Amino acid sequence: MKAKTLKKTPNELKLEVEDVGHTFCNLLQKRLLEDENVELAGYDIPHPLSSNSIIYIRTKGAMKPEEALRKAVKRAREMNKEFSKELKKALKT
């Protein structure tokens, strides 16, 4: 997976990410929107035959979009660990 910055300002970040689809982007968007400092978070897959996605983040106040992205990824990882634990418990029964 490769990422390329398309646009970067103090409150906006637009990234092109290779080889990720709706599943990853939707999860990331939801985690971003949980942050009260994120004004807008979204993604686009410009062409159905392309495996590249465009992720867009706009923050409010002093929070940088890169910081919001890092926090969202951290929350997604924590959620994944929690789900993994619960799944292991459920499959033992």
Which helix H or strand E contains 83, and what residues bound it?
A: helix 65-92
List beta partners, residue 7. Answer: 14
78: confidence class by pLDDT, cuts 50, 70, 90: very high
In the chain, where are the structural domains located? 3-92
Tell me the per-residue pLDDT of 7-63, one tens digit each, with 9 for 90 and over: 999 999 999 999 988 899 999 999 999 999 999 999 999 888 888 999 999 999 899
Whether the model clears a pTM of 0.75, i.e. scores above it, the answer is yes
Is 4 within 8 Å of 53 (Cβ atoms)? no
Whole-angstrom CA distances from 76 to 51, 70, 83 are 21, 10, 10
3-92, which class in CATH? alpha beta
How many alpha carbons lie under 13 Å from residue 85 in its C-beta half-sphere? 6
Cα 69 from Cα 90, distance rounded (Å)? 31
